[in-house]
Structure 1
Amino acid sequence: MSKYSLEVVVDGFHYLEGPRWHKGALWFVDFYTQGVYRVNDEGVAEKKVHIEQQPSGLGWLPDGRMLIVSMKDRKVMRLEDNGELVVHADIWQHCAGHANDMVVAPNGDAYVGNFGFDLMGGADYKSAGLVLIKPDGSSQLVAEGLAFANGMVISADQKTLIVNELFGNKISQFAINEDGTLGDKRDFASFGELGDEPNLGVRIGNAKILPDGLALDAEGAVWIADTLNQRAVRIAEGGEILETIDTAPEGVFAVALGGAEGNTLFMCAAPDWDEAARKAETKGRMLAVSVEVGHAGTP
């Protein structure tokens, strides 16, 4: 029997992503209601922002304004203090597929991944890059050759970016340069190279992990949403699996560490990530469990 006791935070959604603990509250997005939500003190999820082209990663600038990835039109939106929603950056030229997850550094630099190919349309796999967006909205490509960059975190000393490669069977990391650009990619944890295999089904069949969301803890380990195996997994640098939390029969697709003490692991759960099925049902929910080691880094 698992030592973990799962609790339901909110349910009745389609497909949750982008969980963030910010200023004492849990935030997340629901792809198919096009909503950004905040859980209030009564435990009710309130829709705060509508993103017509599907929201994904969330973050905040140093002055408190929120950034939101708008997936299908490959933009990052900014919520102004007066409630106006404006374009912070248009990154279409840097993306070969939907814009995806994002992490915003304490200095306002934002790193955004993208699919790299038409995942939901059944296209062959292709690698993709990472985009750096400066606080003034200017953008540039700062890394290439990632196997579907997904969840990202920045270390507590702000010197390292850690990023999941969803279809790469690995978690990678980069040194962050003074200007926000990235050094060479290196492994944080690799479970075997998958090469340039274009067939996504073959890639998934050869993978041991499918790392989606990502959270960093105070011991330097990461929690991932292992979508392949219906679990959350805590992994040390180098690849040792330290802990697992089984969520079967549901999959878990994003994670975040937060809560009052920083040791609540939030998990976005759903039956699968099939777009048509998730749009048709409201089986997405947020789970939570207490873990021993608390949050570190950003987000």
Structure 2
Amino acid sequence: MPELHTWLTDLGLVESPRWYDGRLYFSDWTAHEVIALGLDGTHEVVTRVDSLPLCTAWQADGRLVIVDSEQGLLLRLEPDGSLVTLADLNGLGSGWNDIVIDGRGNIYVNRIGFDMLAGAAFDPGYVVHIGPDGSARQVADDIAFPNGMAVTPDNSTLIVADSYGNRLTAFDIEADGGLSNRRTWAETGEDHPDGICIDAEGAVWYADVGNKRCVRIREGGEVLQTVEVDRGCFACALGGPDGRTLFIVAAEWRLPEMVPPGTGRVLSTQVTVPGAGWP
């Protein structure tokens, strides 16, 4: 059983962990905060956005991009701390969820097709691409419940966690950022994959809320490693000085309140293969 280290406790619904420039950035959806955690244990609130979901990604120029799902906007955090609108997604629907930016600057944001918490009828979701001019277009559809996304180190493949489909779905990334050659990258059995990341051997780590674990899986579905946690795992990210720290954001999951306040935690464990690709 891998040893787990606890970094922070008493959080809310924690999501979207991203390792960047020596710190772990993550979102506390309950507090509407993006938080940066240093390896010395210090942490600070980077910005606040009144949104749920509240997911993030980094541009190559070092600016943080934030999905404001409530307003249907893609925001960018400027060096002076202000938030500017990078793209308006309202013309393409609502219910925006996760985001990834690849090494060529392609921005992908996915949308859940129905309001699960309000008891709305099921409707599949999709993925949109945002261009350099802020224009947004749909590039993939019919994903039961799109969640975490990651891009391979060679910028050739986008992988989307389909939580309701119990699978990881892959697409080729075209020169213009479009997606093609849709295929099942791996079936996940009874697991409902949430946040994901990729390692240097091409395997994917996915978090699973209901089964309270993170799983390393190979293309085709072979399970390579499992990390069990005492609460729901919402997302994971590889980082640390050598890329071999698997950070896990976890919390208790209980409807209708979703996540009881104070149950969110940031955890980590050491793994043998470093992270690669994006996020």
The one-character-per-residue Cα deviations of 1:35-59 (angstroms, maximum 9, x if unpaired) are 0110135312211101012352211
Could you tell me the TM-score, scaled by structure 2's length?
Answer: 0.96
The percentage of counterpart residues that share the same residue type is 39
The answer (yes or no) to whether the contact 1:154–1:161 under 8 Å persists in 2 is yes
> Does residue 220 of the first structure (1) align with residue 202 of the second (2)?
yes
| 1:256 aligned partner, one-letter code | A
**Residue 148 of structure 1, CA deviation:** 1.3
Match of 1:63 in 2: 61
> Does residue 148 of the first structure (1) align with residue 145 of the second (2)?
yes
Aligned mates of 2:254, 2:179 — CA distance in 1: 30
Q: Could you list the runs of 4 or more consecutive aligned residues of structure 1 that deviate by over 3 angstroms after TM superposition?
A: none
Match of 2:214 in 1: 232
Match of 1:35 in 2: 33
Match of 2:275 in 1: 295
The one-character-per-residue Cα deviations of 1:120-147 (angstroms, maximum 9, x if unpaired) are 1112221111010113211110000011
| 2:98 aligned partner, one-letter code | D
**Residue 185 of structure 1, CA deviation:** 1.3
Match of 1:113 in 2: 110
Q: Per the alignment, do residues 60 and 135 of structure 1 end up closer, same or farther by CA in structure 2, a change over 3 Å counting?
A: farther
Match of 1:47 in 2: 45
Instruction: Map 1:267-282; keep pairs closer than 5 Å.
Output: 267-272=248-253, 274=255, 276-278=257-259, 280-282=260-262
Match of 1:265 in 2: 246
The answer (yes or no) to whether the contact 1:55–1:68 under 8 Å persists in 2 is no
Match of 1:194 in 2: none
Q: Unaligned 5+ residue runs, structure 2?
A: none
The answer (yes or no) to whether the contact 1:60–1:108 under 8 Å persists in 2 is no
Match of 1:22 in 2: 20
Aligned mates of 1:144, 1:258 — CA distance in 2: 31
**Residue 275 of structure 1, CA deviation:** 6.3
**Which has a greater percent of strand?**
2
Match of 1:90 in 2: 88
The answer (yes or no) to whether the contact 2:17–2:236 under 8 Å persists in 1 is yes
Match of 1:129 in 2: 126
Q: Per the alignment, do residues 262 and 153 of structure 1 end up closer, same or farther by CA in structure 2, a change over 3 Å counting?
A: same
The answer (yes or no) to whether the contact 1:224–1:232 under 8 Å persists in 2 is yes
| 1:266 aligned partner, one-letter code | F
The answer (yes or no) to whether the contact 2:22–2:38 under 8 Å persists in 1 is no
Partner of residue 284 from structure 1, selected from 264, 267, 273? 264
Pairs aligned (count) = 279
The answer (yes or no) to whether the contact 1:36–1:55 under 8 Å persists in 2 is no
The one-character-per-residue Cα deviations of 1:59-79 (angstroms, maximum 9, x if unpaired) are 122222110111222221111
Instruction: Map 1:178-217; keep pairs closer than 5 Å.
Output: 178-191=175-188, 208-217=190-199
Aligned mates of 1:281, 1:298 — CA distance in 2: 30
**Residue 277 of structure 1, CA deviation:** 4.5
Could you tell me the TM-score, scaled by structure 1's length?
Answer: 0.90
RMSD of the TM alignment (CA)? 1.4
